[in-house]
Structure 1
Amino acid sequence: MLTLLEANCLSFFNWVMITSAKASIFIIFLLGVKFVLRHKVRVGLQYGLWSVLLVGLVLPWTPNSPASVYNYLDASRMQQMIVSILDRAIPSSAADLKSQPSALDPVTVLGRNSPKAALNPEPQRSKAENAHSGTASLFVYRLMYYLWLLGVLVLTVLTVSINKLFSKNIGQALPVDQELLAEFKKLQAELQIKKDISLFKSRHVISPSLFGLIHPRLLLPFGIEQTFSREQINHIFLHELIHFKRKDIWINCLCQVLLICHWFNPLLWYAFYRMREDQEIACDALAATRINPEQSYDYAYTLLKLAETYTTAPPIAGLASLCGSNSQIKKRLIILRNRKLIRASAKWSLLAGLLIALIALVTFSSAQTVTNPISLEKGQNVKVSPENNQAFGAAEGTADTSSGITIEDIAGPNYKGKVMLIKDPTRVKLAVTQKIGVTGEKVSELVKDRGAIAGINAGGFYDPNGKGNGAFPDGLTVKDGKLVHNSVGEEGVNIVGFDDQGKMVLGNMSVSQLEERHFRQAVSEAVTFAPNLIVEGKPVISGDGGWGIAPRTGIGQRADGTVIFVVIDGRQPAWSIGATLRDLTKVFEDYDAVNAVNLDGGSSSEMIYQGKVLNKLPNIFGERYVPTAFVVTP
């Protein structure tokens, strides 16, 4: 099971992996645009374009968009594999439902004319193979997580140690002479910088460098007055103060943090190398606009002299240095010589900005799910749990009185989700993928197939081909009173469904028992999943349920017949981590359920109403392919 800390860590790791993949695609396009328009776009904008990457890397969530590239990867094997592995790695359902205890003897039968499902031994062997594959995938994913965590810890320790040692060493720095300090303060005033920036000389810097977030200091190497003229030193001051004015120290620190989190991604290392290069060029360009054209030659000569005299500054967070590699210095000299690049065409710069904005929309947004979450509004009634005084419901504003459906928000300490109440239980039916054994369907498609107006994902599925595409429902599946799929042979499994009167039935059942008891009562709709949460008004979950924290889906029924759909979001640190089985049980208790069962969760958890996804899916690819859904007919 997952503790809250483990759920948070794995959710963060999942977010890092997804964000890193998105960023890699964006970087490739960004570098392409920069290459094509390299002589047409202003150098300041060349640097500014990197800010889009930074924003994309720090956003905790991104909007769904019909323009997202992931819409076109919707049915790809890559999508199915990623989601399938993630669900195995962050458990949300039992590995073997047959082993789950049932607290209720079922009173369910099939009709006399229901066909007995033929048992296919091949899927059974494939299912066993899939169990082994799932264990291997879980091991690999967790190994990836621990390797990533180790890399983060090592880089964090190194970064902190290097910066602390550097800070300690420069603590012995000496103040510069008053004449040099006066020149520095004069230039600082001209740039309208009010922050007090200290000026020191130190034996521990190998090039002029601006250091410090809270207490910034400009550090000069010893002997710089003997090597450079007063005018050249002023050029150095100007460049470093522009770094400060542009907040480049803060940006460099943010880049270092992002590199620690994404240390495994070589594209990001290269991107930030190029970004630092553009940062220096942008500072040169701004400096060139503040000096006379006649002084540009002397500024360029200062860069050459710095490259000859000092080496590149060490990679320290919070450090901005004038020096760079020989190739960087060469590029900067070319820019300074061709002043047209400093003031390039505004229309080309605008085009570049629009292109990058479009690329960001395409690469950083998630697949379109027609998302329309319903939220609490001021003045709406709120239901309060007496146990923890936790407000978790919305009221009249989300009720569809014409259809007998009410939708409410729920929230707990670590989760947010949706509850749907269906007054007439006979309207709840089961939708099964039309391509059973080939591929599943999205919940929205299953709702549409059945001509319904709402629905949630239902039973689990097994994965004989490693695709995770929802083709094979797990256990026993009954639709319209007929057994349409059997993956367990004669073994008993926990089923949940409804009889032809709309009463919920749940409990352990085998296919032979269904056939033997068909005279007593018909099972109209049923899927296989577990565990039961509430049976005949009594909670049957002990502790937190033992399944950890994850996205959840459940179904229950009140004594008056009202059916309760519950979907809880998860794996989204900035929105909802997820819920335990005990949390899910508590929701059903607060809604007065007399019977309730856990359904398939994880990336499958989804609620649809009038063609829209109501909850926030944790999957950048949008809706997952599943074999079954409980739907609400008109």
Structure 2
Amino acid sequence: MNQAINTCITGLNNIGQGFWDYAAGVFIQASVLIVLLLILDFVLRKRVRAVFRYCLWMLLFVKLVLPASFTLPTGIGYWLGDYFPSEVSIAKLMPQTKEAVPMFIDIPQRHIFFETPTMNETVATEFELESISWQGLVFSGWLVGMLVLLALLVRRIYFVRRLIVNSRSANERSLEMLEECRCRIGIRQSVELRLTGNKLSPAVCGLFKPVILIPAALLKKLSREKLKAVLIHELAHIKRDDAWVNLLQTMLLIVYFYNPLVWIANAMIRRIREQAVDEMVLVTLRPETKSYSNMLIDIAEMAFWRPNFSLRIIGVVESKKALERRINHMLTRPVPKSSKLGCLGLIAIVVIGAILLPMGRNSMTMAAGTQEISSENSKTNIIIPGLRVGEYTFSMSKDEILKSLGKPKAIFYGDQKYTLDNLPEQYFMHFVDISFHISGDSIKGITVLSPSYKLANGLGVGDSEQKIKQAFGDNFQLKETEWKDFLSYEDKGLMFEIHKQDRTVMEINVSPVPGSESYIKADIPPTSTINEQGRIVDKVDYPFVNDPKVIGGWKSVDFVREINQFNPAEKSWKGDLYLNHLIFEEGGKIAGNILTWTKGLVLSDDTASKYIVREIDGSAYMFFEWKSGDYTIRYMKPFYYVLKKVSVEGLKYEPMVGKKADIPPTSTINEQGRIVDKIDYSFINDSNVIGTWKSVDFVDEMEQFKAGEKQWKGRDGELYLKGLIFLPNGKTFKPWWTWTKGLVFHSGDKTAAQYTIKDIEGSTYMFYEWKSGDYVIR
């Protein structure tokens, strides 16, 4: 018996090992492909039609049925095969070798009945059970999970079958319309239309004999035009063979259920499939496209009686969230001329597939060092002037550099060359993209020779002289030496060598700053650090120390580079002041902001800004360090806001930054300093507003709007709000947004935004107040 069990366990372990070797490789390759497809989809979603994006995602199905070892010269795996393993190399578990023991063989003899119990026990203990390997356990878990999902699929199939059996044929009028729509969309096979008593969205069932199921209650409420749109939508699914694709999609999901990215891809494919069908419907209904989005809204309102319905058959609507995305897609995209992929689209899909699908390695792989070189060259390191270049600091020894980088390409000083066996007191040790100036055993300078090392502001070797000037301003002094072929910009711990002819950076020389933690321009406190992104992070965990003279209101009056530049009689800063005021409260709080304070410092999440209070001409002035991105990212010395002490009452309802909003008399300011509008208005109907509104512009004043001429230029002209959908009875397609005549309410932000409807040049436009954080907080 034990021998039989051991045979089964050994077989399970072997199958598990093979499963793991295959599944792990496919897991990695499929995950990489899904990430690449997500990036491509994000980049292309506003530039191509949904049918192209849908076919792009079909490449995943092809990938999941191909072996991980599949390779082509066009594929990324052919050239980067080391990064896309076709199998996982894991040491196989060898069976343990036991010490030799006597083999007992029972030979029938006359005295067999006189065997002792001891002998029987000895024979029984010789066959010990094998243990199940972790690969065997993984395979068993996968098998159990797959069988559970298959059982759920069978249950779903029987459920659909019962739906069809319990349904009834549609009336003559509906069947005539079905026949009309079938001919219009170009389907030759017969399609059956049946009515069901279940409360679900219209759907397509069946692979060989497609059936369209529509709730009987829904059919009674649909107008002729909307019923036509519903039928064409379902027929579009049939024409595209979406039921077959959905079956393949479901089977692959069951097999690869262990990969969470496959579930994400599954949701993406379902979403884009509906968008592609919408495009086909819009092309088919080209003269009647205006009613299509309204039909979807009506279907959703009437059919979402079972919000957790999880049949997952192909239908008009699967969820409100999915429907909202589809309507937004239609709002932001023009009606396509064709719903077909086209020759160019097919060629593009084939080319992309030829590149992305083959991830198996080239049979004649490159040398082992290629991967290391590629990895090193693709790595970008941060230059911190006066401190380090990437991982190399001035505290390192020569031996540490050699251990990290290996043998240098050259060692020299002036025209003289050296080797590691006869080093002088002072020399340069040159590697591929970096060089070290060494004196004795200490580093005196590090020279960057390639763009793989960059300053935190992005500057590096190869950048133009103009770019350097723009980044560092007038304080960077230009030096020129006649007998050298470069110009130089110098500052503390840093020098750029600019080629005289092409005016680009040849080298960046970094040197230590004796006795100082100062980096470019900014005198950074010794308690501050540089994070992995190259940003300055100040120490901010200071205990609170009271400062009675700072408590109260301070209003901005100027913005200066140095404190001694301030003149109360003449404003130095010519533009508007972004910071309007600060209100220092007891206990270290600053009103209406996340800032806090302790004596001498104003603290944020990652900056500690000094403040200095001085008496000038009988008034108290505060000089407040403004540590913006110029300090944290570009290492520039902060400017100073100059604030004059004033009464708190005059600042209480003024914005801390920016211009003041015209706050309605019904609104209030809460304890956090936020504007809270009145939103508990009774509902008043406005039939003019019900429907779908697409965003076309964003203006400061209504008078600025010109039909056909877009005023908004920010964000490359992209509008954040794509559109609004107003439903009857004060509802919208966002649960936290409601409306009454003239107002739209946001229950989360507590805002009441006005809307105004105007007819301009034969079209109807809505002007909708955009009450974002600029209104509520600032």
TM-score range, shorter chain: 0.3 to 0.5
Looking at both structures, which has the greater relative contact order when contacts are Cα pairs under 8 Å and sequence separation is at least 6?
1
Higher helix share: 1
